[in-house]
């Protein structure tokens, strides 16, 4: 018997529903690139990027600079 609109279920999920929720697409492999900064340089980056966005700011700036150098040659 199929469920009609507005009818409640027993609250249990089928194994298929649980499996599809837990499966994730494979992630692209990443590497770590680190460098040292003076505290003043770090503070300047945090001021420019805003709260919680310093990593993304530095990553985008570094990639933009690398692409600029590559296109000039």
pLDDT in tens, 19-56: 666 677 888 999 999 999 999 999 999 999 998 999 99
Q: Is the pLDDT of residue 62 over 60?
A: yes
pTM of the complete model: 0.56
SS3 per-residue string spanning the chain: CCCCCCCCCCCCCCHHHHHHHHCCCCCCCCCCCCCCCCHHHHHHHHHHHCCCCHHHHHHHHHHHHHHHHHHHC
| pLDDT for the residue numbered 63 | 95
pLDDT score at 44? 96
pLDDT value for 48: 96
pLDDT at 26: 86
How far is the C-alpha of 53 from the C-alpha of 48, rounded, in Å?
A: 9
Alpha carbon distance 20, 3 (integer Å): 22
């Amino acid at each position: 018997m199929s469920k009609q609109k507005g009818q409640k279920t027993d609250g249990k999920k089928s194994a298929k529903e649980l499996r599809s929720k837990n499966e994730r697409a494979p992630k692209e492999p990443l590497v770590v690139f680190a460098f040292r900064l003076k505290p003043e340089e770090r503070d300047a980056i945090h001021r420019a990027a805003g709260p919680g966005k310093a990593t993304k700011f530095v990553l985008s700036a570094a990639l933009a600079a690398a692409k600029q150098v590559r296109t000039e040659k």
